[in-house]
Amino acid sequence: MDQQKAEKLLADASEALKAGYYDESYRLFKEALAIYKNLGDEQKAGQCELEAEEVKSKSAGCAPLPAVDYHAHPVFRSTLKKDPPLYMAARHFRLKDEVVPENIADMVRHMDEGNVEKAVIMALDTTASDHWAFQGQFLTNDGVAEIVKTYPDRFIGYGAVDPRRPDAVEEVERCIKELKFKGMKFHPGAVRLYPNDEKYFYPIYEKCVELGVPVQSHCGTTGLYFTKIKYTMPLGYDDVAVDFPTLKLVLLHFGIGGWHDQAMSVAFRHPNVYIDISGASPRIIPQSIILAANTPFYQDKIIFGTDYPFVGMAQWFSTFNKVLKDVWTPETKRKVLRENALGLHEKPPVSPLDILRKEGIDVPPEAKR
């Protein structure tokens, strides 16, 4: 009986190892080891011990399970020199040349090294800006679509559009319907508009609700030069969430730079608002977010991302394995590092008004918020 159980554990452990579920594989090898020890099968026990140690060393610099990076940029060495705001950001962050990919194949290799199965990638469109530094574009929506087409299993495309473009809403529709993107990305600091700008941003959110796609938007300070960070403070997003209660909204970078508690306050009160932890090494993510991730309330709301190449994927995980791996429960890791990002594109948003209506609580039929 025990013999069979141990054999099954061994088989499952090898299966998990092959699929990149390193934590799980290690746990299963250890469980099998305990049974073989009990049975007095020293040889098998020794083999399990060896395998478990191998899994441990193999996964020291990568994700404990196939991760989904919710925020990564296909930025290459050649791109940086063409884009003044990005170049200044890279310089500011003392980004070493060797961590910046030369091409998309390099980026995929970096994903493999970090055990990152998929990454959400996006362009940045500031072409309607009146600031010289933002009038160019290093990557277009069509460029993103091309990358996704080449690596459909590795990348999830998000669209980007400068809200001041006269065809902004049409471009959102094209991104989702024609280019098959799964969401939209905005950087209010780069386009110098508040996220709750009713003239420019609201028609876009309206369209995203209609199309049923999430929006990710920059929240917190930024290394991107020539931007203004008053536009990226968390509180503006509270208006957006109140006015578009069924819009899935992800606050990129968790209000980094001191506003993380505000970002958490916004996520706390709105069922469809999420926090992404990209743009920071696990060592500097605020403790309040780290601890909240283990609570049932925030466990579904916090989403892993790197902001690659500004933060390297394997580098993020090698730090994670040192400082966070044993802080987060297996369930937190599964959700934050993988499932929450996938769920954004798979599950419908929560509708507060529908909940009330279902309970028979009076809500005027024409009420939208």
Closest-CB residue for Zn ion? 307
> 162 or 307: whose CB is closer to Zn ion?
307
> 197 or 307: whose CB is closer to Zn ion?
307
Residue 256 contacts residue 246 (beta carbons within 8 Å): no
* Residues numbered 246-285 forming contacts with Zn ion, rule: CB under 5 A: none
> 36 or 155: whose CB is closer to Zn ion?
155
Residue 71 contacts residue 309 (beta carbons within 8 Å): no
Residue 322 CB contacts under 8 Å (≥ 6 apart), including other chains: none
Task: Give backbone dihedrals phi and psi of 251, rounded to 5 degrees, phi first.
Answer: -85, 100
Shortest distance in whole angstroms from residue 69 CB to Zn ion: 11
Shortest distance in whole angstroms from residue 310 CB to Zn ion: 7
125 counts as binding Zn ion under rule CB under 5 A: no
Shortest distance in whole angstroms from residue 141 CB to Zn ion: 16
Binding residue for Zn ion, selected from 307, 314, 337, 341, defined by CB under 5 A: 307
> 36 or 310: whose CB is closer to Zn ion?
310
Residue 357 CB contacts under 8 Å (≥ 6 apart), including other chains: 363
The stretch near Zn ion (CB under 5 A) out of 21-29, 111-119, 290-298, 301-309 is: 301-309
Three-state DSSP at 65 gives coil
From 337, 185, 334, select the one nearest 251 (Cα to Cα). 185
Residue 339 CB contacts under 8 Å (≥ 6 apart), including other chains: none
Shortest distance in whole angstroms from residue 307 CB to Zn ion: 5
CB atoms within 10 A of CB 351: 14
State the Cα–Cα distance between residues 299 and 306, nearest whole angstrom.
18
Shortest distance in whole angstroms from residue 254 CB to Zn ion: 13
The stretch near Zn ion (CB under 5 A) out of 42-50, 116-124, 303-311, 351-359 is: 303-311
Q: Which residues bind Zn ion (CB under 5 A)?
A: 307
